């Protein structure tokens, strides 16, 4: 144990055993900062939606600014969700086939959720 | 459930419960809860795009007892995960690591999340005059 097993180049590249480096860590935090601001807008918008009937809610989300922010919100939240659930599965699911199945299922569900939500917002914004 | 039997480090049943571990566990739990809540957001957006009838069904579900309990839970989960997330981001840049600061900030997050949840639901009920 006198010498580190990694070559100096490996340390310099900083990519670690999974060869992803700190990519996961960074993306999780960047989406977190995005969600910090977007969530405040989201809560404000939900309160406004609750005051409105169907037409009012539809018109509110159809406004270009709100539509763009809603798309940003759903993309950021599903991305952040995938990253977070991935770590939970990595930590607690130790049966290999189940771990892989869950990891892929989480990615599929999060992507489909984001895609469906973006399509819904586009339909609302373009007035169907 | 490990595939190979090997010695484990002491786990939850060994440690005395303290705020530092509770905030960490609750952060994960609220994250998982919010993942489920995000699916409802997706359904609500699809319903809003689909027309008044599907939207009315979502409204009916949200106004039901189960819907209200879920929404209340998700509100607190969002408030807690958001505030505790800020605490984690500040810790990521090296702030608030002294034990006393850590404990104080943890309790601050728990208290503020409850206050924020109460404020939001007060807004909801006052502007609607009951669900």
> Which pLDDT tens digit goes with each residue over A14-41?
676 666 778 899 999 999 999 999 999 9
- Put simply, whether the predicted model's pTM sits higher than 0.95 gets the answer no
* Consecutive H or E run containing A96: helix A96-125
pLDDT at A128: 55
pLDDT at B3: 61
* Measured CA distances, A120 to A74, A110, B3, B42, B62 (Å): 11, 15, 43, 8, 19
pLDDT at A5: 73
* Consecutive H or E run containing A111: helix A96-125
Q: Are A37 and A89 in contact (CB under 8 A)?
A: no
Residues of B in contact with A121 (CB under 8 A): 45, 49
Give the residue extent of every domain in chain B.
65-128
Average pLDDT over residues B50-66: 96
- Chain A residues 1-20 with a CB less than 8 Å from chain B: none
Distance from CA of A97 to the nearest CA of B (A): 11
- Chain A residues 33-72 with a CB less than 8 Å from chain B: 33, 35-36, 39, 43, 47, 50-51, 54, 57-58, 61, 70
CA A15/CA A3 separation, integer angstroms: 19
pLDDT at A22: 80
pLDDT at A67: 98
Give per-residue pLDDT as tens, B102-114.
999 999 999 999 9
CA B119/CA B123 separation, integer angstroms: 6
Q: Are A64 and A121 in contact (CB under 8 A)?
A: no
What share of chain B has pLDDT > 70, as a percent? 95
Give the residue extent of every domain in chain A.
23-125
pLDDT band at B131 (very low <50, low <70, confident <90, very high): very low
pLDDT at B41: 97
Three-class secondary structure of residue A45 per DSSP: helix
Three-class secondary structure of residue B112 per DSSP: helix
Q: Does the structure show a pLDDT above 80 at A13? A: no
Lowest mean pLDDT among A4-18, A84-98, B56-70: A4-18
pLDDT at B128: 72
User: In terms of Cα–Cα distance, which of B9, B36, B16, B5 is closest to A77?
Assistant: B36
Mean pLDDT of chain B: 91
Please tell us whether the domain made up of A23-125 is placed in CATH 3.30.565.10.
no
Q: Does the structure show a pLDDT above 70 at B1? A: no
pLDDT at A93: 94
Give per-residue pLDDT as tens, A38-65.
999 999 999 999 999 999 999 999 999 9
Distance from CA of A94 to the nearest CA of B (A): 5
Look at the alpha carbons of A81, A82, A87, A89 in this order and tell me if their dihedral is positive or negative: positive
Long-range contact list for A69-72, CB < 8 A, 24+ apart?
A69/A38, A69/A41, A69/A42, A69/A45, A70/A42, A70/A45, A70/A117, A70/A121, A70/B45, A71/A117, A71/A118, A71/A121, A71/A122, A72/A34, A72/A38
* Measured CA distances, B36 to A78, A85, A101, B13, B32 (Å): 11, 11, 18, 28, 7
CA B91/CA A64 separation, integer angstroms: 36
């Amino acid at each position: 144990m006198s010498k580190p097993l990694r070559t100096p180049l490996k340390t310099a590249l900083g990519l670690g055993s999974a060869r992803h480096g700190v990519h996961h860590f960074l993306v999780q935090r960047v989406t977190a900062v995005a969600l910090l601001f977007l969530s405040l807008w989201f809560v404000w918008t939900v309160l406004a939606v609750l005051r409105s009937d169907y037409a009012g809610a539809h018109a509110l989300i159809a406004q270009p600014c709100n539509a763009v922010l809603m798309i940003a919100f759903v993309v950021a939240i599903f991305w952040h969700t995938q990253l977070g659930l991935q770590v939970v599965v990595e930590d607690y699911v130790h049966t290999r086939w189940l771990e892989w199945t869950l990891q892929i299922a989480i990615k599929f569900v999060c992507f489909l959720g984001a895609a469906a939500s973006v399509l819904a917002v586009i339909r609302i914004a373009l007035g169907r | 459930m490990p595939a190979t039997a090997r010695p484990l480090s002491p786990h939850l049943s060994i440690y005395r419960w303290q705020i530092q571990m509770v905030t960490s566990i609750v952060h994960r739990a609220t994250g998982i809860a919010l993942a489920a809540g995000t699916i409802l957001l997706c359904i609500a957006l699809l319903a809003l795009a689909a027309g008044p009838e599907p939207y009315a069904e979502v409204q009916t579900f949200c106004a039901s007892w189960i819907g209200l309990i879920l929404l209340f839970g998700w509100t607190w989960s969002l408030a807690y995960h958001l505030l505790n997330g800020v605490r984690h981001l500040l810790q990521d840049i090296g702030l608030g690591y002294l034990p006393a600061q850590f404990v104080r900030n943890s309790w601050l997050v728990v208290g503020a999340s409850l206050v924020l949840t109460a404020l939001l639901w007060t807004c909801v009920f006052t502007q609607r005059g009951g669900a």
